[in-house]
Amino acid sequence: MPNETGMLGVLDIAIIGGIAGLAVYYLIFRKKKEDSSSTEIKQLTVNSSVKTNRTDSFSSSFVSKMQASGRNVIVLYGSQTGTAEEFSSRLAKDAVRYGMKAMVADPEECELDEISKLADINNNLIIFCMATYGEGDPTDNAQELFEWLNDNGGGVELNDVNYAVFGLGNKTYEHYNAMGKLVDEKLQEMGATRVVELGLGDDDCNIEEDFVSWKEKLWPAVCERFNIDATASDISVRQYAVTEFTDTPEQKVFKGEPARLGSLKNQKPPFDQKNPFLAKIITNRELHNGGDRSCMHVEVDIEGSKLRYESGDHIAIYATNDSFLVDGIGKRLKIDLDTVFSLTNVDEDASKKYPFPCPTTYRTALTHYLDITSPLRTNVLKDLAEYAKDEEEKKQLLLMASSSNEGKELYNNWILKDHRHILAVLEDMPSLEPAIDHLCEILSRLQPRYYSISSSPKLHPTAVHITAVLVDWTTPTNRNQKGVATWYLKNKIPMENLQPTAPVFIRKSQFRLPFKPSTPVIMVGPGTGIAPFRGFIQDRAAQKRAGKPTGEMVLYFGCRHRAEDYLYEDELKEFVEEGVLSKLHVAFSRDQKDKIYVQHLLRENKQEVARLLRKESAHIYVCGDAKHMAHDVDLALQEALEAEENWTSQQAQDFLKTLRSRGRYSCDVWS
């Protein structure tokens, strides 16, 4: 028998020849391919699994990565809406101007114990941009950092580690900037050295000004600490390089998907923020009976999605920008909005390869991925200044981007008070002609909009209800300003031959009814603040109908006019008749000469309030406006307790503080 391992057959020779031929082809044509890659216009080749973040290549050993790439600064962010992440990127850019090299990282992707190893890097600095979410909670991506800090890092010491913290919060909330304060406190306890005072940004006032003022203190302090020149170079740093493509296969271009290419067409669970469910809008009806305002009741079908929700949770909507604004930007800049392009990070070691899913078109970027309706931030104005051909316009932009008092005042008046978004600035500064790719780089990301769910899965297991007021107003410059999400929903009207859809996901909340159905509750929710309480009431209705004993439910609701905007009036009255709602107190603020709000009704019913809170161990919930209503309700509760319990103001405050700490006083508020 022949030795089969020692001989080559005809087939073997053919295979070897084929491989050799491919090798020769590769060597000959590779140079041509490399030469063509330097041109701006390319034929597109893209992997269908292209994602926004480089999670595969981003090592959890961030210190090793910093050492290998000559970096001495790292910026970690805790972000729920994208602002903290945006501020982190701006800080990393600033570091370059002072001769340092920085990287931005998500703490969720880092091995936190490695923070102690920063001591091995000369002139090290770790900066935290930390937002506070809800009732003093960390953002989703900072949960592990929160736990690590509360455990004091498992005993690690941070001697010879330098740090700075900027917190993002809102003074109308009870636990203002709790996460930023916690990070600062714990890092000091662990031995780290604070380089500059804790920065506290207030989103209720002007968080942009707070941030700019803080970082103007940060860099001189850092330079002094490291004994380096504190003079910043006046350079514009581009983070991304643009490539435009021709003859692109449509199936390889992102069309609004948050992460995975084709995810909105080829739906695969589990569904979450990076992979939303394309839900059908099955109901969209008007709740107001007249007047010049509009409030929508929208029902979203989640059947078959495996999405689960509880009363008190939030539903997020990926809305799109108004096509009028998108077309306006394209027309003003004289560009073809349907050009396919990619923005790729020039830093190959960066954790984020693209600012948003790429490749895509300029139209898609402006429609789905970029915030084009908010007032511009100062860093955007500074970058835009280099494109101003008129010297006066350039000076104005640079002045507003500066930290001078004159610049801050001008920015506050011309940008914030007049609510100038990108198109408004372009229209009011005719000489401004920015490159569209640079504009796409510096504009903030469009974030999903969150709504308190106004239904219960006990009655509606396959549908999520939304209660939303249409946002529509005129700016001081006589421009129409529309709410991105509410106008998006307004146009989603189901018809016999048309089934509108919207990308959604569920965000869990701590805003929950007591575990025992027999526990009494007080609910205070004027306007659309009634949304989660409608779900709570439906929960209790289902429990009562199932024969379970249910506790007292007292609702304080408020609106302007009984005949116009009394939301869910018939439904609420039915719940009263059924015995689910024990009491229904409604304040109509403008049906009489003197305005009446929910806090006035709380004072009128102070005996009931004090009895439920003190003797019946009731839970109290507040939903709605944080700036005025929530504060006034809290004051009314204090006064009720002072009057009925004969307490001092301090005793009443301490009692309410105890209720909060025990989870008996919960707020779902916004400003």
Catalytic site residue 670? Answer: yes
Query: Binding residue per annotation — 483?
Result: yes
**Can you tell me the distance from the alpha carbon of 581 to that of 570, in angstroms, rounded to the nearest whole number?**
13
Query: Binding residue per annotation — 556?
Result: no
Query: Binding residue per annotation — 484?
Result: yes
What is the 3-state composition of the chain as percent helix, strand, coil, each rounded to the nearest 5? 40, 20, 40
Structure tokens at 434: 């920015």
Query: Binding residue per annotation — 174?
Result: yes
Catalytic site residue 110? Answer: no
Query: Binding residue per annotation — 441?
Result: no
Structure tokens at 165: 């913290």
**Can you tell me the distance from the alpha carbon of 277 to that of 279, in angstroms, rounded to the nearest whole number?**
6
Query: Binding residue per annotation — 84?
Result: yes
Query: Binding residue per annotation — 384?
Result: no
User: b/e map of 131-148 (b: 16 or more CB within 10 Å)?
Assistant: bbbbbbbbbebbeebbeb
Query: Binding residue per annotation — 665?
Result: no
Of 68, 153, 78, the closest CA to residue 111 belongs to: 153
Q: Per the residue annotation, which of 210, 565, 634, 668 is the catalytic one?
A: 668
Query: Binding residue per annotation — 568?
Result: no
**Can you tell me the distance from the alpha carbon of 663 to that of 296, in angstroms, rounded to the nearest whole number?**
31
Query: Binding residue per annotation — 308?
Result: no
If residue 537 lies in a helix (H) or strand (E), which one and from where to where? Answer: helix 531-545
Query: Binding residue per annotation — 291?
Result: no
**Helix, strand or coil, per DSSP, at residue 444:** coil
Query: Binding residue per annotation — 52?
Result: no
Tell me how many helices (H) and strands (E) the chain has.
Answer: 21, 24
Query: Binding residue per annotation — 518?
Result: no
Query: Binding residue per annotation — 451?
Result: yes
Of 137, 156, 166, 168, the closest CA to residue 63 belongs to: 156
Angle at CA of residue 397, ends 392 and 398, nearest 5°: 100
Query: Binding residue per annotation — 82?
Result: yes
Query: Binding residue per annotation — 414?
Result: no
Q: What are phi and psi of 285, to 5 degrees?
A: -130, 155
Query: Binding residue per annotation — 597?
Result: yes
Catalytic site residue 623? Answer: yes
Query: Binding residue per annotation — 365?
Result: no
Query: Binding residue per annotation — 449?
Result: yes
Query: Binding residue per annotation — 368?
Result: no
Query: Binding residue per annotation — 80?
Result: yes
Query: Binding residue per annotation — 558?
Result: no
**Helix, strand or coil, per DSSP, at residue 488:** helix
Q: Per the residue annotation, which of 623, 625, 634, 667 is the catalytic one?
A: 623
Query: Binding residue per annotation — 168?
Result: yes
Query: Binding residue per annotation — 134?
Result: yes
Residue 568 contacts by C-beta under 8 Å, 6 or more apart in sequence?
287, 530, 534
Query: Binding residue per annotation — 99?
Result: no
**Can you tell me the distance from the alpha carbon of 618 to that of 182, in angstroms, rounded to the nearest whole number?**
31
Structure tokens at 250: 């449509």
- Inter-CA distances, 269 with 102, 194, 263, 276, Å: 36, 44, 10, 9
Exposed (0-12), middle (13-18) or buried (19+): which is 295, by Cβ within 10 Å?
A: buried
Per the CB < 8 A criterion, the answer to whether 129 and 78 are in contact is yes
Catalytic site residue 668? Answer: yes
Query: Binding residue per annotation — 171?
Result: yes
Query: Binding residue per annotation — 418?
Result: no
**Can you tell me the distance from the alpha carbon of 272 to that of 21, in angstroms, rounded to the nearest whole number?**
47
Q: Per the residue annotation, which of 88, 305, 452, 509 is the catalytic one?
A: 452
**Can you tell me the distance from the alpha carbon of 336 to that of 39, in angstroms, rounded to the nearest whole number?**
19
Q: Per the residue annotation, which of 59, 160, 294, 670 is the catalytic one?
A: 670
Query: Binding residue per annotation — 230?
Result: no
- Residue 295: beta bridge partners? 469
3-state SS, 350-408, equals CCECCCCCCCEEHHHHHHHHECCCCCCCHHHHHHHHCCECCHHHHHHHHHHHCCCHHHH
Binding-site residues sit at: 79-84, 131-134, 168-177, 203, 293, 449-452, 467-469, 483-486, 528, 589-590, 595-599, 632, 670
Binding-site residues for FAD sit at: 449-452, 467-469, 483-486, 670
Active site positions, annotated? 452, 623, 668, 670
Binding-site residues for NADP(+) sit at: 293, 528, 589-590, 595-599, 632
Binding-site residues for FMN sit at: 79-84, 131-134, 168-177, 203
